[in-house]
Structure 1
Amino acid sequence: MSVYLDKGSSVWKVRKVILEHNHELIPREMVHMIRSFQAISGSVKAHMDEMHAYGLPTSKILEVYG
């Protein structure tokens, strides 16, 4: 999909839509791997914040929860 801002009317407009996919869709059992489908519970976020406050770098924290 391609969109643009029509500066005259300050409205976003669709320029082009391609309805065919150029790749296979992800299998349902792997959807959890897509970033937009991932969620962090409040307790996990709190634990990650504690580890960060303790001084662990983000890369090491993500090794635990990655």
Structure 2
Amino acid sequence: MRPDFDCVVIGAGLVGAAQALAIRRHDLSVLVVEAQQPPSGRGSGDVRGLALSPPSKRFIEVLGVWNL
């Protein structure tokens, strides 16, 4: 039997993960599809910077993950 999902999010980066979390909070089932394997251990070693607009920052704050 094939599982059913209400939504499919392509990409598990910052945007995809945040979108999946927001969708899940509406009691919908979500499948996140990512082309790459997740990094092993804590953190990915990726030290790139990130610029967010104030509305994007607020969206992440509303999700409750800004300080993680």
- TM-score normalised by structure 2 residue count: 0.29
- TM-score normalised by structure 1 residue count: 0.30
**Structure with bigger RCO (C-alpha 8 Å, 6+ apart):** 2
Greater share of residues in strand = 1
Higher radius of gyration, 1 or 2:
1
